[in-house]
Amino acid sequence: MTDAAKRSRTNPTTVYFSGAPCECAPGETVLDALLRQKPDLAYSCKKGTCLSCILKADGPVPAEAQEGLSPTLAKQGFFLPCLCPPLDGMLIEPAEGKGLFADATIESADQLAAHITRIRLRPNEAFEYEAGQFINMRRDDGLTRSYSLASVPGQDDLLELHIKRLENGIMSNWAADGASVGDAVEIQGPNGSCFYLEGNAGGPLMMIGNGAGLAPLQAIARDALDRGHRGDIHLYHGSRHADGLYMRDELAELASQHANFYYHPCLSGSAVPKGCRRGRAEDVAFGDHQDLKDWHLYLCGYPPMVEAARKTAFLKGASLANILSDAFELRELRIEPRD
Ligand SMILES: Cc1cc2nc3c(=O)[nH]c(=O)nc-3n(C[C@H](O)[C@H](O)[C@H](O)COP(=O)(O)OP(=O)(O)OC[C@H]3O[C@@H](n4cnc5c(N)ncnc54)[C@H](O)[C@@H]3O)c2cc1C
Averaged pLDDT for residues 292-300 = 97
β strands within 124-260, DSSP E: 134-138, 144-148, 159-164, 184-191, 205-210, 233-239
Q: Give, for 283, the enclosing helix (H) or strand (E).
A: helix 281-288
- Tell me if 164 CB under 6 Å of ligand 1: yes
Q: Are 107 and 160 in contact (CB under 8 A)?
A: no
Would you state the pLDDT for residue 270? 83
Cα(202) to centroid of ligand 1, in Å? 36
> For the segment 272-285, what is each residue's pLDDT rounded down to a tens digit?
999 999 999 999 99
Mean pLDDT of 241-250: 95
pLDDT digits (tens, 9 = 90+) for 73-94: 999 999 999 999 999 999 999 9
What is 35-47 written as a DSSP string? HHH-TTS--S-SS
Nearest protein Cα to ligand 1, atom 39: 338
- Provide the β-strand partners of residue 17: 20, 92
Please determine, for residue 102, whether its predicted confidence score (pLDDT) is greater than 70: yes
Contact between residue 125 and residue 186 where contact means Cβ atoms under 8 Å apart: no
CB atoms within 10 A of CB 63: 12
Query: Does the beta carbon of 236 sit less than 6 angstroms from any atom of ligand 1?
Result: no
Note the pLDDT of residue 131. Answer: 98
**pLDDT per position as a tens digit, 169-185:** 999 999 999 999 999 99
Task: Look at residue 309 and give its three-state secondary structure.
Answer: helix
- The per-residue pLDDT for 334 is 56
pLDDT value for 96: 76
Q: Closest ligand 1 atom to the C-alpha of 167?
A: 47
What type of residue sits at position 329?
E
Q: Residue 339 and residue 125: Cα distance in Å, rounded?
A: 40
Examine the pLDDT at 108 and tell me if it is beyond 90. yes
- What's the gap in Å between 168 CA and the centre of ligand 1? 9
- Nearest protein Cα to ligand 1, atom 46: 169
The CA 250 to ligand 1 mean position distance, Å, reads 26
Q: Determine whether the shortest distance from the Cβ of 117 to ligand 1 is under 6 A.
A: no
| Best CA proximity match to 210, nearest among 172, 252, 242, 239 | 239
Give 39 or 105, the one with higher predicted confidence.
Answer: 105
Is the C-beta atom of 160 inside 6 A of ligand 1? no
Confidence of residue 262 (pLDDT cuts 50, 70, 90): very high
CA of 295 to the centre of ligand 1 (A): 30
pLDDT band at residue 99 using 50, 70 and 90 as cut-offs? confident
61 C-alpha vs ligand 1 centroid, how far in Å?
29
What is the C-alpha separation between 1 and 80, in angstroms, rounded?
Answer: 17
Long-range contacts of 155-159 (CB under 8 A, 24+ apart): 155/222, 155/223, 155/226, 158/107, 158/108, 158/120, 158/121, 158/122, 159/104, 159/120, 159/121, 159/122, 159/123, 159/127, 159/129, 159/135, 159/187
Q: How far apart are CA 256 and CA 74, in angstroms?
A: 44
Q: Indicate whether residue 264 lines ligand 1 (CB < 6 A).
A: no
**In ligand 1, which atom is closest to the CA atom of 216?**
8
Q: Please work out whether the CB of residue 328 comes within 6 Å of at least one atom of ligand 1.
A: yes
Q: Compute the average pLDDT of residues 13-26.
A: 94
Tell me the pLDDT band of 271, cut-offs 50, 70 and 90.
Answer: confident
- Ligand 1 atom 38 nearest Cα: 168
Q: Which of 194, 324, 331, 335 to mutate to test the pocket of ligand 1 (most atoms within 8 A of CB)?
A: 331
**Which residues are 57's β-sheet partners?**
92
Tell me the domains of the chain and their CATH numbers.
3-93 (3.10.20.30), 101-191 (2.40.30.10), 205-327 (3.40.50.80)
| Closest C-alpha to ligand 1, atom 21 | 172
Query: What is the average pLDDT score of the chain?
Result: 93
* Banded pLDDT at 217 (limits 50, 70, 90): very high
215 within ligand 1 shell (Cβ under 6 A): yes
Percent of the chain having pLDDT more than 70?
A: 94
pLDDT digits (tens, 9 = 90+) for 122-139: 999 999 999 999 999 999
For residue 337, what pLDDT is reported?
Answer: 55
Is the Cα dihedral 195, 197, 198, 201 positive or negative? negative
pLDDT at 49 over 80: yes
